Structure 1
């Protein structure tokens, strides 16, 4: 009988898989790093080579890639990278730790980018784990501009690899900040961007949404069988980490590791359409240099909505809709019902009918309550927040973070100092 890893591979395009290196029977962790026109890779690899090693063997796979229409400068940098990786591998590789690479030219089109590069590397690790029968081997996602703590591998070993109940993990992260006297604008932009990431995650957690985890491509690990159950990494040019992790989170126990950190670079970059680099470019280029985000009031309404969900079990769509019109909360102005924009979003997406069908297919309210988030998932939440901008437009992230700290953690702080706000947010997981 085929293992889940073998079944997954049989359904994929496997032309990129290689048998260039024999697989150690003790292989337990595979770090996958996509790399395109990347001058800082060596520092990342040296950091991994110096890190404390776990009891299992570790491989680091660098997927050096470029689209067919890459610039001569990018091709030259990739060639230099390949030479540097080869030289470093000869220096640091040993019986239990190996750095190696794949050199891939990606066909032009919508899939020529970081998502496909990650997919190639992660499928390769599935292939290698399948060859030794290790369905629980870790596929670790990292970026070429990152640094990690010395206990990176041992923390993953303790909290995920040897944890039979856990299927995946996210790790704590921190963007190193540029010197205020040298690059004040970039420093301020980076502070606000990381504040935005933390504000959104904590706001989502406050609502009762069960999958309020960070979705950062350089900051997660997943067991090989879970990777396959989730259908593998998406091939998108950006946002591949978000979409992949949304498929992973409902599958089992997710561990948030706070005993080690990943340090993504705070730099301007246009390699991908989404993420740190493009966000920083946009922020630095704006006159106000202020990061905007979804307002705290929108998350408060989302919380009210989620808390009511069990009341809709086994009800017809018409009754669910009537209940929504009466759903609300007490405020300083009396009882307020769900905003019109909220109700319009639910109607336009025929969500009452979706909930009715879900209720009819669930044997208990407990199952219904859990499966509700299959329908009302992270993408749906984003769509709702965007729809609510009609009445709750985007606000400065410092201002909204101050509201969150006061309402959730009872901490009153000024919104005038983003750096201090960020330092306070780092205290809460």
Structure 2
């Protein structure tokens, strides 16, 4: 079925997309959402993901296409390539209605629509320079643009997911409903790492999620425009936002961070709290950093999870209030007030040539709207993280989880009834309670800021 693409979609694909891969699917009308899943050596996990998606309601499944990008590089290990070939075979059997076992029959009967991009067979493999999760996501998301039924009014939604996840039964319907009702352009879906898996370091993954939520809660407290999680399996945007941001990047890791940063410079990043995605807590070699790599380092004893000193969030809060105020329009006032907040903040900005760059922006910005965009462009998510690292190294060392969370709660004036242990934490039960509490605090802070 040939589709007439809107001009913005056509122009984007002409300029930004790669043409070496094709999407295998039974082309139908009515597609309004596409779930894009990069997968390398994920045969078993992929079956679990598909099964969880197939339990979503029939109406949502009819308007959704699940796109797998099965990929490896030309230099990947033979075991990886064989696993991918088994995956390709399994997906093609689903698309032809070949139900050789109960699982396949169950998936086929659900009506789940599946698309496949073969980037793993001989002649289709990624070259070593491009291979990686960022490029795989980009290939899938770009081709997703060609599947939407643009004759139907409303949002066309691109959903990023990973092969090692499971989702709730209302996952698709809640995403579509949220984007439709709220006219949303960009959102994160709520996540909880899957602690029920066997062979995982439960204390390690709980501590890691506490670290992630401690940082985002601190950013929410500081009222940063970049106060969101950057987990690849939680990111959602509509097709217009995707094009505005220039599409997915091709980084081998942190592709989700940099893509979401670009989106946040143009759109407010909202949060969907009414459903969940549950990423795996496994160890993984697939990317050079992130959850899987962190779990490997924890298990090997290379890493001990700590959290930032919340004084860093206080400095960030004071800095953002200054930077987004009229005082920042006068360079001398900006310098003077910055030094009052903390001398290391001023040193950081000096080292990053901030004053020079901001002076240039002030001289060339012609409107308040342009100036506010340049504020987010100059001091973005990456600069925020760089500031946290700089203050960590110069003045505020990392803290053990228990006292670090206790200090954050005190700054937030949050009363926590469970006695907080000091020093290193051993009890998984205690860690779990702490994670539950910081999740609750984070959600409340987000909702209060967005009322």
Question: TM-score, structure 1 length as denominator?
Answer: 0.89
Q: Tell me, in whole angstroms, the C-alpha distance in 2 between the residues paired with 1:250 and 1:274.
A: 24
Q: Identify which range, 116-125 or 75-84, moves more after superposition.
A: 75-84
Q: Identify which range, 56-65 or 108-117, moves more after superposition.
A: 108-117
Q: What is the CA-CA distance between 1:212 and the residue it aligns to?
A: 0.6
Q: Tell me, in whole angstroms, the C-alpha distance in 2 between the residues paired with 1:211 and 1:378.
A: 6
Q: Between Structure 1 and Structure 2, how many residues are aligned?
A: 412
Q: Tell me, in whole angstroms, the C-alpha distance in 2 between the residues paired with 1:362 and 1:276.
A: 40
Q: What is the CA-CA distance between 1:247 and the residue it aligns to?
A: 0.8
Q: Tell me, in whole angstroms, the C-alpha distance in 1 between the residues paired with 2:396 and 2:206.
A: 24
For residue 332 of structure 1, what is the aligned residue in structure 2?
A: none
Q: What is the CA-CA distance between 1:410 and the residue it aligns to?
A: 1.4
SS in 1 for 2:172: helix
SS in 1 for 2:139: helix
Counterpart mapping for 1:171-250 below 5 A = 171-178=189-196, 186-250=201-265
Q: 2:394 aligns with which of 383, 390, 395?
A: 390
Q: 1:51 aligns with which of 44, 48, 56?
A: 56
Is the 1:402–1:421 contact (alpha carbons within 8 Å) kept by the matching residues of 2? no
Judged with a 3 Å threshold, the aligned counterparts in structure 2 of structure 1 residues 409 and 41 are, in CA distance, closer, same or farther, namely farther
Q: Deviations over 1:136-194 (max 9, x none)?
A: 3111110001000000011011101x136310211111112147xx76x7010010011
Counterpart mapping for 1:289-328 below 5 A = 290-309=304-323, 310-315=325-330, 317-325=331-339, 327-328=340-341
Judged with a 3 Å threshold, the aligned counterparts in structure 2 of structure 1 residues 415 and 95 are, in CA distance, closer, same or farther, namely closer
Q: What is the CA-CA distance between 1:322 and the residue it aligns to?
A: 3.1
Is the 1:137–1:223 contact (alpha carbons within 8 Å) kept by the matching residues of 2? yes
Is the 1:86–1:100 contact (alpha carbons within 8 Å) kept by the matching residues of 2? no
For residue 15 of structure 1, what is the aligned residue in structure 2?
A: 19
Q: What is the CA-CA distance between 1:252 and the residue it aligns to?
A: 2.4
Instruction: Decide which structure has greater strand share.
Output: 1
For residue 145 of structure 2, what is the aligned residue in structure 1?
A: 126
Is the 2:65–2:114 contact (alpha carbons within 8 Å) kept by the matching residues of 1? yes
For residue 168 of structure 1, what is the aligned residue in structure 2?
A: 186
For residue 334 of structure 1, what is the aligned residue in structure 2?
A: none
The answer to whether the aligner puts 1:360 opposite 2:378 as a matched pair is no
Judged with a 3 Å threshold, the aligned counterparts in structure 2 of structure 1 residues 343 and 241 are, in CA distance, closer, same or farther, namely same
Q: Tell me, in whole angstroms, the C-alpha distance in 2 between the residues paired with 1:95 and 1:6.
A: 33
Q: Deviations over 1:82-127 (max 9, x none)?
A: 1222233424347963112111044443421111111110011012
Q: What is the CA-CA distance between 1:50 and the residue it aligns to?
A: 1.5
Q: What is the CA-CA distance between 1:370 and the residue it aligns to?
A: 5.8
For residue 34 of structure 1, what is the aligned residue in structure 2?
A: 38
Structure 1 gap ranges (5+): 329-337
Judged with a 3 Å threshold, the aligned counterparts in structure 2 of structure 1 residues 285 and 426 are, in CA distance, closer, same or farther, namely same
Q: What is the CA-CA distance between 1:352 and the residue it aligns to?
A: 1.5
Is the 1:6–1:130 contact (alpha carbons within 8 Å) kept by the matching residues of 2? no
Is the 2:310–2:407 contact (alpha carbons within 8 Å) kept by the matching residues of 1? yes
Judged with a 3 Å threshold, the aligned counterparts in structure 2 of structure 1 residues 403 and 71 are, in CA distance, closer, same or farther, namely same
The answer to whether the aligner puts 1:64 opposite 2:52 as a matched pair is no
Q: Tell me, in whole angstroms, the C-alpha distance in 2 between the residues paired with 1:8 and 1:134.
A: 20
Judged with a 3 Å threshold, the aligned counterparts in structure 2 of structure 1 residues 273 and 350 are, in CA distance, closer, same or farther, namely same
Is the 2:192–2:279 contact (alpha carbons within 8 Å) kept by the matching residues of 1? yes
Counterpart mapping for 1:264-303 below 5 A = 264-286=279-301, 290-303=304-317
Is the 2:24–2:116 contact (alpha carbons within 8 Å) kept by the matching residues of 1? no
Q: Tell me, in whole angstroms, the C-alpha distance in 2 between the residues paired with 1:214 and 1:117.
A: 21
For residue 335 of structure 1, what is the aligned residue in structure 2?
A: none
Q: Tell me, in whole angstroms, the C-alpha distance in 1 between the residues paired with 2:163 and 2:232.
A: 11
